Homo-oligomer: A and B are copies of this chain.
Amino acid sequence: MGLGDLRPDPVALLGQAAYLQLAWFETATAIAGRASDLTDRETLTRIAAVILQKHHELVDLVTARGADAAEAMRPYTAEVERYRRKLGDTGWHESVLTLHLATGLLDDFFARLGSTVPEQGEHIAAILDREIGHDALVALLRDAVAADRRLTSRLALWGRRLVGDTLLLARAAVATTRTADGRDTTTDDVRVDPVLTELIAAHTRRMDELGLTA
């Protein structure tokens, strides 16, 4: 389901999406650095590299519009950092799960929101939809759960915990990137709510795939 004629401000949308990728890149790198196994560290570093590439491509699109990337990202740093702090400071596997589930949800959402940008829409969606290596994260988490059954309930709890804050961040993005076109915000809700329902369904499928109860 698309977001129809929502048409967010392109630079605002790109700035927020680019900053989110930067934040995920730093998160992925930090998780890599905390990996107890060098092979896992390599896996996570490869994922960090893809996320960084997405960041740079979104930054390039901001620049292509004649805007300054730092300026475009700045309005969104405080909220994203607040979100990161809320979900930070957990065990290592919880952090891996956050990376898997939240990037899945947010990339999906921003790709749909971005696709409504005239002209650049398809390009923005293609960048955000690019696979970062979720299969490797699933394999890593499934191995961990198989080796330590107590982890299952811990991760199930965490997966339910993080989805709320992540959906709030997605919903807030509709308001913060909207153009001052006088459109009624209730119209936004009508557009956005069915999409959020789809995102929750996709989240539940990702949890199921890991054998976790959403």
A59 within 8 A of B: yes
Contact for A29 among B25, B56, B74, CB less than 8 A:
B25
A213 within 8 A of B: no
Query: Given the interface contacts A26-B29, A32-B26, A77-B38, does A55 sit within 8 Å of B45 by beta carbon?
Result: yes
| Residue of chain B at shortest CB distance from A19 | B38
Closest Cβ–Cβ distance, residue A39 to chain B (whole Å): 5
* Copies of this chain per assembly: 2
For the complex, give the distance between the alpha carbons of A46 and B48 in Å.
13
A22, A73, A77 pick with most chain B CB within 10 angstroms: A22
| Residue of chain B at shortest CB distance from A49 | B52
Chain A contact surface mostly: helix
Query: Given the interface contacts A29-B25, A29-B26, A32-B26, does A52 sit within 8 Å of B42 by beta carbon?
Result: no
For the complex, give the distance between the alpha carbons of A73 and B35 in Å.
14
Whether A26 pairs with B33 at a CB distance below 8 angstroms is: yes
For the complex, give the distance between the alpha carbons of A52 and B50 in Å.
11
Q: Chain B residues near A26 (CB, 8 Å)?
A: 29, 32-33
A70 within 8 A of B: yes
| Residue of chain B at shortest CB distance from A43 | B70
Whether B45 pairs with A25 at a CB distance below 8 angstroms is: yes
Whether A42 pairs with B69 at a CB distance below 8 angstroms is: yes
| Residue of chain B at shortest CB distance from A32 | B26
Q: Chain B residues near A70 (CB, 8 Å)?
A: 37-39, 41-42
For the complex, give the distance between the alpha carbons of A129 and B80 in Å.
37
Residue contacts A-B, CB under 8 angstroms, 5 given: A26-B29, A26-B33, A29-B29, A38-B74, A46-B56
